[in-house]
Amino acid sequence: MTDNRVFIFDTTLRDGEQSPGATMTHEEKLEIASMLDEMGVDIIEAGFPIASEGDFRAVSEIAKQSRNAVICGLARANLKDIDRCWEAVKHAKAPRIHTFIGTSPLHRAIPNLTQDEMAERIHETVTHARNLCDNVQWSPMDATRTEWDYLRRVVEIAIKAGATTINIPDTVGYTAPVESADLIRRLIAEVPGAEDVIFATHCHNDLGMATANSLAAVAGGARQIECTINGLGERAGNTALEEVVMALKVRHDIMPWSTGIDTTKLMNISRRVATVSGFPVQFNKAIVGKNAFAHESGIHQDGMLKNAETFEIMRPEDVGLSATSLVMGKHSGRAALRSKLKELGFELADNQLNDVFVRFKDLADRKKEVYDEDLIALVRQNEAVD
């Protein structure tokens, strides 16, 4: 196992696209896959080949076009799904089959399998996948609500049958960070053969803990994080790729693990995924929200003008933005106004600045945001009065 390297497994095109209303066209999927590949994503889960002809074609073509990333397809625990998945991913330089089955009591009740029958099914399907492909990922869906003894037993079966990555999904976003770390730690310590595979974490955000749970799992020994751009995914979504990647970069001092992501490409891909999925990014979303690097209050703007580190822990350039934005509104102060006017080409004497500031505050009380054009108009009005 690579000690300090954490692999980034992006599932925007599979779990992300499962989000109701987030369907992407074939061309859009190819475009997003190529952006992910260029950005340094290690594994791209390109789709669920048995789900539809369209998904099969998308996974096959992404497999053919990809230059660096491992291309993975999803399959349920049956031979037909796995064969179809292999037919799609086999074109990739580095293909992976990802097969899964729900192992918690609630999920076992759906196919109505006993623990032993399910264990047998896992052995059979993982063995089959491994006979086709030497890179096989196995997931016990709803792992975090599966009885510990049964989870340990089925993970061991999957490893013995040839799985090379064991993914531990928190399918309904139920786990908490301490549990997330403990679960991975215990599996690695107690399952025979665990040292020969990579453990992955796959978190959903139902309680808003997906990023924290993913990072905790890494602290527990996981070395693959499954995530999506903008946290796209069913219900409250999946772990957001940009959040875990930037958290590992910015807090490398206490989380000493690295990814291969070129973070300067984050903003661009975030915007593209928002457009093609039709899911806008909330303004205050960490890392890629419109306001993530914007400051309006006077104290913050003044601090930023003196030293950007006062109110920013990341440089906007690191995520692909050209600069911090100082938004002019009713909370802005004189220093920000002076700086903004200078940017617009106006160097005002103190008394002129005072006059414009009074007019600016009056306008800001009536308008949510004061734009550059508004400021220019205020300066012109002031010149006319003078």
**Contact positions with ligand KIV (CB under 6 A) in 175-214:** 202, 204
**What contacts 277, CB < 8 A, 6 or more positions away?**
16, 17, 19, 22, 24, 230, 232
The tokens of 251 are what? 């807090």
Cα–Cα dist 33/44, whole Å: 7
Write out the DSSP string of 39-69: HT-SEEEEE-TTS-HHHHHHHHHHHHH-SSS
Instruction: State which residue, 128 or 295, has the beta carbon closest to ligand KIV.
Output: 128
Cα–Cα dist 259/43, whole Å: 12
259 touches, from Zn ion, ligand KIV, none (C-beta below 5 to 8 Å by class): none
Is residue 125 a contact point for ligand KIV (CB under 6 A)? no
Is residue 17 a contact point for Zn ion (CB under 5 A)? no
Closest CA to 277 of 31, 5, 1: 31
Closest approach, Cβ 167 to ligand KIV, in A, equals 6
Instruction: State which residue, 15 or 37, has the beta carbon closest to ligand KIV.
Output: 15
Cα–Cα dist 333/185, whole Å: 51
Closest approach, Cβ 238 to Zn ion, in A, equals 6
84 touches, from Zn ion, ligand KIV, none (C-beta below 5 to 8 Å by class): none
Is residue 100 a contact point for ligand KIV (CB under 6 A)? yes
Closest approach, Cβ 233 to ligand KIV, in A, equals 8
Cα–Cα dist 60/121, whole Å: 27
The tokens of 186 are what? 């215990």
Q: Is 238 within any annotated ligand binding site?
A: yes
Q: Is 128 within any annotated ligand binding site?
A: no
Is residue 169 a contact point for ligand KIV (CB under 6 A)? yes
Dump strand ranges (E) for the chain: 7-10, 43-47, 70-76, 95-102, 136-141, 165-170, 198-203, 224-227, 294-295, 325-326
The tokens of 332 are what? 């802005």
Instruction: State which residue, 139 or 277, has the beta carbon closest to ligand KIV.
Output: 139
Q: Of the candidates 60, 139, 165, 259, which one interacts with ligand KIV according to CB under 6 A?
A: 139
Is residue 15 a contact point for ligand KIV (CB under 6 A)? yes
Closest approach, Cβ 101 to ligand KIV, in A, equals 9
Cα–Cα dist 263/260, whole Å: 9
139 touches, from ligand KIV, Zn ion, none (C-beta below 5 to 8 Å by class): ligand KIV
Is residue 15 a contact point for Zn ion (CB under 5 A)? yes
Q: Of the candidates 46, 92, 101, 141, which one interacts with ligand KIV according to CB under 6 A?
A: 141
Q: Count the site residues for Zn ion by CB under 5 A.
A: 1
The tokens of 145 are what? 């609500």
Angle, alpha carbons 236-237-243 (nearest 5°): 115
Instruction: State which residue, 156 or 234, has the beta carbon closest to Zn ion.
Output: 234
Instruction: Indicate the residue whose CB is closest to Zn ion.
Output: 15
Q: Is 202 within any annotated ligand binding site?
A: yes
Cα–Cα dist 183/325, whole Å: 42
Q: Of the candidates 135, 165, 171, 211, which one interacts with ligand KIV according to CB under 6 A?
A: 171
Binding-site sequence positions for Mn(2+)? 15, 202, 204, 238
Instruction: Give the interface with ligand KIV as residue ranges (CB under 6 A).
Output: 15, 100, 139, 141, 167, 169, 171, 202, 204
